[in-house]
């Protein structure tokens, strides 16, 4: 990788607080582009345009991600004075149609919780931990990475909120319902006292935390025991259900944006799914002209 690309990655880490996974993805995209057309800091517009052919067999979403990484690099190169021109206009701009996440209904959620609660009726630490995890994913709408990496200090005893560190190292306050508080209290009492980890959900060995992969496996196994299709269940699906069901209950979109930790409300609008019939009913009952039309 060229020194310019390495400097760009260093800037992302230092100034923007990019997460390790984000940095790794950018590094791959930049390295592959330089493999195809050479040093990006010196590549001309014609060379950059050839990337469209190199990426021809990729999915539109992959092309869009790679092009975004290069656009940011070229902007950085211009700011640093390494380039006088910005050739990013030659990069392809695939049309993306972002699909809605899979929707989990209230009945499926009820079945999942009924199974988790039945298994956690005793004092089995694994079952109580799983109930606490499910409560946080659906009850607070946390990302999988946010849940597993929660430090012990994130959830003060009996406090009605969590302090969560999300994407880019940004922190936010997330309400903690009474059910989740009760599940966490039970888990704290059973959490291994000898664990060297400072995380709320420690790994089985070492000072780390429960992995996202393991969380995914635990949820799918729980879904199967609850009689649900495991392919329909994931941490992200529960997060989406949290947002969707809040909106169905009349929550404000801005409030949901804050709870999810989205920097742009457009992300929240795409991420959430509200039944069209409910939106029509909302306009018919809440719009100022609705009462006037009814009285005319």
**CATH code of residue 24:** 1.10.150.130
Which of 107, 258, 131, 241 is closest to 186 using CA atoms?
A: 131
271 is catalytic: yes
Domain end point (choices 44, 66, 90): 90
Which of 152, 217, 224 is closest to 188 using CA atoms?
A: 152
Q: Which of 262, 273, 278, 287 is catalytic?
A: 262
What is the per-residue pLDDT for 126? 95
26 is catalytic: no
Q: Which of 143, 157, 188, 286 is catalytic?
A: 143
143 is catalytic: yes
Domain end point (choices 90, 115, 147): 90
Q: Which of 65, 71, 102, 167 is catalytic?
A: 167
Averaged pLDDT, 157-179:
78
What is the per-residue pLDDT for 41? 92
Q: Which of 188, 212, 236, 273 is catalytic?
A: 236
In Å, what is the CA distance from 191 to each residue of 129, 165, 295?
8, 22, 62
273 is catalytic: no
- Residue-wise pLDDT tens digits, 227-249: 999 988 999 889 888 888 887 77
- Both tokens of 244, joined, read 């969707």
Taking the CB of residue 121, how many other CB atoms lie within 10 A of it? 10
End-to-end CA distance of the chain: 71
Assess contact for 65 and 22: CB atoms under 8 A: no
Q: Which of 181, 239, 240, 245 is catalytic?
A: 239
Structure-model confidence comparison of residues 64 and 165, the more confident one: 64
Which range of 93-97, 131-135, 267-271 scores highest in mean pLDDT? It is 131-135
Domain range enclosing 60: 3-90
| Domain count along the chain | 2
- Residue-wise pLDDT tens digits, 109-132: 999 999 999 999 988 999 999 999
CA 53 – CA 28 distance, rounded (Å): 18
What is the per-residue pLDDT for 230? 92
Q: What is the pTM of this model?
A: 0.63
Burial of 201 (0-12, 13-18, 19+ CB in 10 A): buried
């Amino acid at each position: 990788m060229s020194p310019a690309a390495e400097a760009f990655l260093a800037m992302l880490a230092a100034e923007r607080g990019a997460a390790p996974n984000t940095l790794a993805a950018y590094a791959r995209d930049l390295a592959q582009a330089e493999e195809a057309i050479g040093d990006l800091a010196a590549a001309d517009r014609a060379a950059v345009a050839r990337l469209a052919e190199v990426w021809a067999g990729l999915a539109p979403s992959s092309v869009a991600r790679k092009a975004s990484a290069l656009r940011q690099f070229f902007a950085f190169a211009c700011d640093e004075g390494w380039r006088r021109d910005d050739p990013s206009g030659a990069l392809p701009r695939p049309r993306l149609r972002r699909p809605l996440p899979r929707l989990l209904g209230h009945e499926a959620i009820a079945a999942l919780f009924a199974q988790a609660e039945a298994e956690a009726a005793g004092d089995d630490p694994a079952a109580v931990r799983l109930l606490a995890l499910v409560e946080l994913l659906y009850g607070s709408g946390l990302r999988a990475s946010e849940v597993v990496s929660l430090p012990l200090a994130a959830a003060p005893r009996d406090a009605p909120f969590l302090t969560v560190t999300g994407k880019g190292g940004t922190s936010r306050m997330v309400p903690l319902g009474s059910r989740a508080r009760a599940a966490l209290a039970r888990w704290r009492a059973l959490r291994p006292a000898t664990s060297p980890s400072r995380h709320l959900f420690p790994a089985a060995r070492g000072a780390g935390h429960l992995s996202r992969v393991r969380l995914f496996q635990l949820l799918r196994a729980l879904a199967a025991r609850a009689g649900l299709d495991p392919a329909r269940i994931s941490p992200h699906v529960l997060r989406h259900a949290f947002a969707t069901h809040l909106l169905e209950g009349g929550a404000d979109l801005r409030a949901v944006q804050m709870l999810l930790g989205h920097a742009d409300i457009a992300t929240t609008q795409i991420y959430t799914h509200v039944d069209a019939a409910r939106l029509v009913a909302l306009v018919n009952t809440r719009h100022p002209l609705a009462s006037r039309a009814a009285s005319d």
